[in-house]
Structures are given as C-alpha cells and as structure tokens.
Amino acid sequence: MEHMTTAQEFGDAVTRPAGTVSIAGVPWPTYKVAALLIGLIVFAVVATTTASAAPAVLSGAGVAAIVWLTAGLLGAPKD
C-alpha cells in the first residue's frame, strides 16, 4: 500500500519560528500577544476602579500600543 501525503502532514512538518504563539493556526509573535494581554489587564483594572468605560478603553489601548511598539522595536533585527 502506498503512503499518501495529506495536508495534515504538511502542517506537522512546518515548524513555528522561535518566539511565536499559535492562535487559530496562525503564528503570532509572543510580544504581540503579551501586549494585548497587558492592555486587557490594564483595561480591567481601570474599569473596576473608575467604573467608567472611556478611561478604561483609552488606557488599555494606550498601554497595549506602547508595549506592542516598544517590544517590536527592541526585538527588530538589526542589519
């Protein structure tokens, strides 16, 4: 009996680059996932302390953007 290659085997053969997290089969850099989680935590903390949506959304998004950009720049390959 011949062995047939399936799409699943192709997926198993592909390795993820170091420093990535697979989300729905798509590799995401770890720093992006960390930035989103930190932003979500800041959002939750500010929302519970102020009981107001606007400051919570703005601070969570701001912190996530700063972490995302800073980590991306610090981790960028230097040519």
- Residue 70 belongs to some domain of the structure: yes
Instruction: Return the half-sphere exposure (C-beta side, CA atoms, 13 A cut-off) of residue 72.
Output: 11
Can you give the pTM of this predicted structure? 0.72
- Residue 34 belongs to some domain of the structure: yes
What domain range is 52 assigned to?
Answer: 19-75
Higher pLDDT, residue 71 or 1: 71
Of 59, 78, 65, 57, which Cα lies nearest the Cα of 32?
A: 65
- Residue 8 belongs to some domain of the structure: no
**Total tally of structural domains belonging to the chain:** 1
- Residue 56 belongs to some domain of the structure: yes
- Residue 2 belongs to some domain of the structure: no
Secondary structure element (H or E) that encloses residue 34, with its range: helix 30-50
pLDDT tens-digit profile of 10-58?
A: 555 455 566 889 989 899 999 999 999 999 999 999 999 999 999 999 9
Q: From CA 49, how far away is CA 52, in angstroms rounded?
A: 8
* Category of 7 on φ-ψ map: left (φ > 0), alpha (ψ -120 to 50) or beta: alpha
- Residue 10 belongs to some domain of the structure: no
- Residue 43 belongs to some domain of the structure: yes
* Amino acid identity, position 26: V
